[in-house]
Chains A and B, each alone.
Chain A
Amino acid sequence: MEKENKKISRKRQRRNFLNRLQGLDWVIFAMLLVYAILIIYPFYNAFLISISPEHVYLETPILLWPKEVTFDNYRAVFTNKTLWSGFGVTMFLLLFGTAYQLFFTVITGYALSRNKWIGKGFLMNMILVTMFFGGGLIPYYFLIKNLGLYNTIWVMVIPGAIDTYNMLLMRNYFASLPADLEESAKIDGANDIQIFVKVYLPMALPMLATVGLFFAVGNWNSWYNGMLFIEKANLKPLQLILRELIATSSSQIESPIGVTDVYSEGLQMACIFFTIVPMMSFYPFVQKFFVKGLVVGAIKG
C-alpha cells in the first residue's frame, strides 16, 4: 500500500515537475550545490597539491586548476615500501578481520534477538554496562600484553570481534523479521542454530552486507590500536603510517646524518589519496547498504 502511494506520488511529481519548479526550488538547488562543493573542495584541493611540484604549491595562493603536473609524489608513494606493507596489513584486516568480526557480531545479535532464554538478560545487561564503564588504558594495555596480542596483527582484529553498535543493529534487524518462521521451523524439528542458518541468515543477507561494510570501513580506517600496541614497522596499518607522515617531524629533534625525513605537503596529500581512492571508488555502489543500516539501527535502537 505504501509502495503504491509512493509510486503514484512519484509519477505525479514527474508530470508536474517543470511547471512546479518555483523560486524556492532554485534556492534549495543553489544551497545544496554550495554544500556539495564545500564537501568536494578539500578533496579537490588535496588532489591538486598532490600533483603539483613543491614550488608551484608554495608560489600559488589558491590552486584552482593544475598549473604544472608532476607525478613525483605518486611515484614516491608507490615506491614506498612502508606504505605498501601498511596496505598489506590493512588488506588483511579488511578481508579477514571483517569476516571474523561479522561472524561473532551476527551470532550475538541473533541470539539477543530471540525470545527469552536463560542468560539473555544477563548478557544484555553485561553489554549495557560496558557502554559506560571501562577500566582505562593501563589495565587494557596489561590485558593485551598478557593475552600475547601485543605486537601481533591480531591486536587489531580480536579486540574488535564484537562491536556493540553493529551487534545491536543486527539484533534489531533479526527482531524485525517475522517470528512465526521460527515457530514453524521448530515444529519441523529444527534447532536454533539450524533455524538461524537456514531461515534467518538468508533473510538477513542485506543487513549482513551493511554491517560487513561498516566493519570494512572501520578496519580500513583503524589506527588507534595499532598505535598503542604495534612496535614492528611491518605490522603497522595504513592509517597509522599516514598519521605518522602527517605529523611532520620537527627540527628541534637532533638527527644523525642521512636519517632526516622531510615530508612535503605534496607527498602527504598523495598518501591521503592512496588511502581514500579505494573507498571513493566503491562508495557510490555500496552507499545504499550503509543508508539502510543506519535507518534500521537508529529507528529501532
Chain B
Amino acid sequence: MNKVLIAKRNKTTYNFKKKVNHSKYLILMGIPAVVFYFIFNYIPMYGILIAFKDYYPKKGIMGSPWNNFANFKTIFSNPEFYTVLRNTIIIGFFKIIISFVAAILVALLLNEIRMRIFKKTVQTIVTFPHFLSWVVIGGFVANLFSRTGAINNLVNLAGHDRIEFMSNGKFFIALIFTSDVWKEAGWSSIIYLATMAGISPELYEAADIDGATRLQKIGHITLPAIKPTAVLLLILSVGGILSAGFDQIINLYNPLVYNVSDILDTYIYRQTFRSGMPAGQGAAIGLFKSVVSFILVLIVDRIAKLCGERGII
C-alpha cells in the first residue's frame, strides 16, 4: 500500500498544481524559513558590493562610488593581511588537530573507566564548560594567567621566572589551544563515547579469549571502530578552518598579541567597527574568506565522498 502511494507521488505525470496541492501544508511550514533566510541572510548579501566600492555611510551602499578592485589591491598589498591570514590558518589548523586528539583521548579514558558513578560525575563536570560563554571564560583566563594570577604565583613560588602568558605570543597561542580544550574536549568526547558504546561486546570477549591486553584491545577494536566517525568529523571541520573562533579570540586577546592572535574575523570586525578604516577593505577580506571557505568545503566534501562517506552537500 505504502509503496504504491510513494510510487504514485513520484510519478512525473502529476502536474505542478497537483504537486503543490499535495504538499501545501509542508510548503506552508517551510515558508517562515524561506522568509527568514531571505531576510536575514540573503538581503544583506548585496553588501558584498561594499568590497568593490568607496563606501560613504551617508550615501548608502548603493550610492557609494565604485572603485573596482582598489580595496582588494590595498588589502593584498598590506603586510598585516598576510600576518592575519597566517594566524588564522595556524590557529584554525592546530585547533582542529588538538581538539580532535583531546576529544578522543577523553572518550577513551571515560570508556575504559569501570567505576560507573565516578564516570558519570566526571562526565558531568567535564562537559559543563561547553555551556559557558567566552565572556566568562575570558574572565577566568585573565584571572588565572595574568602575571599576578594564581598560575604565575605558583610558578614563582616554585622558583621560576613568571611567564607572560597574556603578552608573549607563543604562550598566548598555547593559551588559546588550552582554553579551547578546557571548554570543548569533554563535550566533543561524547560523540566518540556514543560510538564506542555501540561496539559489540562480543568483539572484546573474543579478544579476551585470545589473551589481548587492554591496550591491544583499544588499538585493535576501539580505535578502528571510531575511525569512520573520527575521519568524517575531522574532514568536516577542515571546512571551517578559516573561522578560527571569533568569540574566543575577541574575549581573550589584547593589543600586545594582535600580531599572533588576530584572525580574519576579528580583523574584519576591528577594521569595520573599531578603527574607522574604510569599510570596503573589511568587506573585501570577508569576501575573500567566504570564497576560500566555500572552495575548502567543496574539496572536503569531495574527499569525504571519496572515502565513502555521505558528504555534506
Indicate whether A and B are direct neighbours in the complex (CB within 8 Å). Answer: yes
Using CB atoms and an 8 Å cutoff, list the residues of chain A in contact with chain B.
Answer: 5-6, 8-9, 13, 17, 20-22, 24-25, 28-29, 31-33, 35-36, 38-40, 42-43, 45-46, 49, 61-63, 104, 107-108, 110-112, 114-120, 122-123, 126-128, 130, 132-140, 142-143, 147, 159, 161-162, 167, 180, 183, 186-187, 191-193, 196, 217, 221, 223-224, 228, 239, 242-243, 246, 265, 268-269, 272, 275-276, 279-280, 283-284, 287, 290-291, 294-295, 298-299
Q: Which of B16, B39, B132, B268 contacts A221 (CB 8 A)?
A: B132
B83 within 8 A of A: no
Indicate if the CB atoms of A138 and B191 lie closer than 8 Å.
Answer: no
Known: A61-B150, A134-B290, A193-B28. A299 touches B229 (CB 8 A): yes
Q: How far is the CA of A217 from the CA of B132 in the complex (A)?
A: 8
Indicate if the CB atoms of B131 and A20 lie closer than 8 Å.
Answer: no
A–B complex contacts, Cβ < 8 Å, 30 sampled: A5-B200, A5-B201, A6-B201, A24-B215, A28-B112, A32-B122, A33-B122, A36-B121, A61-B157, A62-B150, A111-B26, A111-B33, A120-B30, A123-B30, A126-B42, A132-B290, A132-B294, A136-B286, A139-B50, A183-B5, A193-B25, A223-B133, A269-B139, A269-B143, A276-B136, A283-B124, A290-B131, A291-B190, A294-B190, A298-B233
Indicate if the CB atoms of B128 and A39 lie closer than 8 Å.
Answer: yes
Indicate if the CB atoms of A136 and B114 lie closer than 8 Å.
Answer: no
B129 within 8 A of A: yes
Q: Which residues of B are found within 8 Å of A228, using beta-carbon distances? A: 273
Q: Which residues of A are found within 8 Å of B85, using beta-carbon distances? A: none
Binary interface profile of B, 143-159, with partner A (CB < 8 Å = 1, else 0)?
11000001001101100
Indicate if the CB atoms of B187 and A134 lie closer than 8 Å.
Answer: no
Q: Which residues of A are found within 8 Å of B138, using beta-carbon distances? A: 243, 246
From B214, which residue of chain A is reached at the shortest CB distance? A24
Known: A5-B200, A111-B30, A133-B294. A275 touches B136 (CB 8 A): yes
From B286, which residue of chain A is reached at the shortest CB distance? A136
Indicate if the CB atoms of B269 and A224 lie closer than 8 Å.
Answer: no
B186 within 8 A of A: yes
Binary interface profile of B, 183-201, with partner A (CB < 8 Å = 1, else 0)?
0001100110011000011
B206 within 8 A of A: no
Q: Which of B44, B144, B186 contacts A136 (CB 8 A)?
A: B44
Q: Which residues of B are found within 8 Å of A133, using beta-carbon distances? A: 45, 290, 294
From B292, which residue of chain A is reached at the shortest CB distance? A132
Indicate if the CB atoms of B43 and A17 lie closer than 8 Å.
Answer: no
Indicate if the CB atoms of A139 and B45 lie closer than 8 Å.
Answer: yes
Indicate if the CB atoms of B32 and A108 lie closer than 8 Å.
Answer: yes
Indicate if the CB atoms of A224 and B247 lie closer than 8 Å.
Answer: yes
Q: Which of B5, B29, B60, B150 contacts A107 (CB 8 A)?
A: B29
Distance between B96 CB and nearest chain A CB, rounded to angstroms: 15
Indicate if the CB atoms of A132 and B297 lie closer than 8 Å.
Answer: yes
Q: How far is the CA of A183 from the CA of B6 in the complex (A)?
A: 9
Indicate if the CB atoms of B33 and A127 lie closer than 8 Å.
Answer: yes
Distance between A42 CB and nearest chain B CB, rounded to angstroms: 4
Indicate if the CB atoms of A36 and B19 lie closer than 8 Å.
Answer: no
Indicate if the CB atoms of A130 and B41 lie closer than 8 Å.
Answer: yes
Q: How far is the CA of A136 from the CA of B26 in the complex (A)?
A: 32
Indicate if the CB atoms of B131 and A162 lie closer than 8 Å.
Answer: no
Main secondary structure of the interface of A (DSSP, over half): helix
Indicate if the CB atoms of B26 and A36 lie closer than 8 Å.
Answer: no
B interface, how many residues as a size bin?
35 or more
Q: Which residues of A are found within 8 Å of B127, using beta-carbon distances? A: 287, 290-291
Q: Which residues of A are found within 8 Å of B201, using beta-carbon distances? A: 5-6, 8-9
Known: A22-B214, A36-B126, A43-B140. 5 other contacts (CB 8 A): A45-B144, A134-B41, A139-B50, A193-B29, A299-B195
Binary interface profile of B, 38-54, with partner A (CB < 8 Å = 1, else 0)?
11111111111010000
B167 within 8 A of A: no
B248 within 8 A of A: no
Scoring A122, A161, A239 by chain B CB atoms within 10 A of each residue's CB, the highest score goes to: A161
Indicate if the CB atoms of A32 and B118 lie closer than 8 Å.
Answer: yes
B77 within 8 A of A: no
Distance between B158 CB and nearest chain A CB, rounded to angstroms: 11
Indicate if the CB atoms of A272 and B2 lie closer than 8 Å.
Answer: no
B306 within 8 A of A: no
Indicate if the CB atoms of B126 and A35 lie closer than 8 Å.
Answer: yes
Q: Which residues of A are found within 8 Å of B5, using beta-carbon distances? A: 183, 186
Q: How far is the CA of A120 from the CA of B9 in the complex (A)?
A: 15
Indicate if the CB atoms of B136 and A242 lie closer than 8 Å.
Answer: yes
Distance between A129 CB and nearest chain B CB, rounded to angstroms: 8
Indicate if the CB atoms of B150 and A45 lie closer than 8 Å.
Answer: yes
Distance between B154 CB and nearest chain A CB, rounded to angstroms: 6
Indicate if the CB atoms of B191 and A294 lie closer than 8 Å.
Answer: yes
Q: Which residues of A are found within 8 Å of B256, using beta-carbon distances? A: none
Distance between B139 CB and nearest chain A CB, rounded to angstroms: 5
Q: How far is the CA of A30 from the CA of B256 in the complex (A)?
A: 38
